[in-house]
Amino acid sequence: ETGVTQTPRHLVMGMTNKKSLKCEQHLGHNAMYWYKQSAKKPLELMFVYSLEERVENNSVPSRFSPECPNSSHLFLHLHTLQPEDSALYLCASSQDTASGGRPYNEQFFGPGTRLTVL
């Protein structure tokens, strides 16, 4: 138990569906992240939020839309996905360096949402 929860754990959706992934952290951190982990590919950072503002967007297609309503919650809204978007989506949190955290503060990961796009 890392203090970061993700729901749902598994999601199967068609290409025309709209769904959302939810992440919640109970650690008092002020930065949250979305990663994509595909088989046989490196971990891909998608979005970074610090103090509820998006500070990084790594050329992610617009069919992925993040939302961070407060420092404890992070959503990833999905629409019109493609089969190649099937992957494990990981959420993480940390104490952001720019806001008084330290560079040695590690990220705490949730268990991930296994997404399958049919």
Partner 1 sequence: GDSVTQMEGPVTLSEEAFLTINCTYTATGYPSLFWYVQYPGEGLQLLLKATKADDKGSNKGFEATYRKETTSFHLEKGSVQVSDSAVYFCALNTNAGKSTFGDGTTLTVKP
What residue ranges bind partner 1 (CB under 8 A)? 2, 4, 6, 31, 42-43, 45, 50, 90, 92, 96-98, 101-112
Nearest residue (CB) to partner 1, 40 versus 62: 40
Residue whose pair of structure tokens reads 């891909």 in the numeric block:
44
Least gap, CB of 6 to partner 1 (angstroms): 8
Nearest to 41 by CA among 88, 4, 79, 81: 88
Nearest residue (CB) to partner 1, 66 versus 112: 112
Structure tokens at 33: 């992240």
Residues 6+ apart with CB under 8 A from 50: 30, 31, 96, 98, 99
Least gap, CB of 21 to partner 1 (angstroms): 13
Nearest residue (CB) to partner 1, 62 versus 98: 98
For residue 90, the tally of other CB atoms under 10 A from its CB is 23
Nearest residue (CB) to partner 1, 7 versus 82: 7
Structure tokens at 25: 């952290």
Least gap, CB of 16 to partner 1 (angstroms): 29
DSSP 4: E
Question: How many Å apart are CA 73 and CA 40, to the nearest integer?
Answer: 29
Least gap, CB of 15 to partner 1 (angstroms): 26
